[in-house]
Amino acid sequence: MSKTLTAALALGAPVLFSASDVLAQESRRFTWDGEIEIDYESIFDSDVPANESDTAYGSGEFNAAYALTDRVAIFGGLTFEELENAAGNTGYGFYFHELGLQFETGAASFQIGKVHPEFGTAWDTAAGFYGSALAEDYELSEQIGVLAELDLGTAGTLAMGVFYADDTGLSDSLGFNRGRNTTAAGGAGNTGTLNNASLQWSKDWGQTFAYVGARFLTAGTGDVSDETGIVAGVGHSLGNGLDLFGEVAAFDGYGGSADDATYATLNAAYAIGELTLSGTYAMRDVDSAGRTDLVSLAAEYELTNGMTLGGALARVDDAGVADTLFGVNLVIPFGG
């Protein structure tokens, strides 16, 4: 080997190591994940025959974050799903469900931008195809604001935020155009100013977790009332594969209307290897719309490639009209 080549390799070795180290560091700074979901749903029996239908649809979600420093990160989330515009037309499009900056200060973290304030967890926690079907009604999503999460040590965690419904260009969509939100559309919390707030305390005790929360949404254009809401939930793992969960939420001036509303979700899931069996009872009672009761049994199986195949039967009684439903889905995760 020539002296020139030996010298070049000697000089190049640390350069190669340095480049590899930079790439590894960049990989640690950037995180991402997501999933694609393909669904089929059938209302195969109903007290009102016109309700009977078959629907196939899909959706996808992509989330990413990049750490600018040890304490500051950019985060974003993109959703692909079927959307509806003001004229009632539908189509598939993309939109940002989150986008902003996160700051870490040790015992506290802060987010600013398009954010997802905490209020309940049933819309995400309940197992099964229909487990979160009613709780999704009151999920706080696509909000512009500032959030803070405080680590209280043995006293738990406190999450809080001030926000308003997104009325920026981020409320529009690519592909199918759902239209940009405006404050003229009304709705509690759709105010264009930071006069809406949420607060939620949570704590774990070994195999048990619990939380309580509250929110205040200011009346929007044309609304008759501000909305106030409270939520409480508890979950417990028995350690033998059986997990129990329940959540209750109550609202005054629901959605800016004159309605009171009450929601409840009770959910049990039992894991047997890669198979999870679950059952759900959910209730929604809104003054002007009446009461809805949902009972469902579901099964989900995680395949060897990480994908999950699920199916469920449900009976829904909506203000005296009973429907029987069947749904199946395939969830394909990705990311790293």
Homologous superfamily (CATH) of 36-335 is Porin (2.40.160.10)
Q: Say how many CA atoms lie within 13 Å of 312 toward its Cβ.
A: 26
Q: What is the rounded radius of gyration, in angstroms, for the C-alpha atoms of the chain?
A: 23
Give just the sign of the alpha carbon dihedral 85, 250, 160, 62. negative
Task: Say what the pLDDT of residue 310 is.
Answer: 98
- Fill in the amino acid letter for 99: L
Q: In whole angstroms, give the CA distance from residue 95 to residue 116.
A: 14
Instruction: Choose among 109, 82, 223: nearest CA to 165.
Output: 223
Task: Say what the pLDDT of residue 12 is.
Answer: 38
Task: Say what the pLDDT of residue 335 is.
Answer: 83
Chain center to CA of 4: 60
Q: In whole angstroms, give the CA distance from residue 120 to residue 99.
A: 21
Give the domain ranges of the chain: 36-335
Its pTM stands at 0.90
pLDDT along the chain (336 residues), means of 10: 37 40 63 97 97 97 97 98 95 98 95 98 96 97 98 97 98 96 97 98 97 98 97 96 98 98 98 97 97 98 95 97 98 88
DSSP conformation class of 136: G
Task: Say what the pLDDT of residue 6 is.
Answer: 37
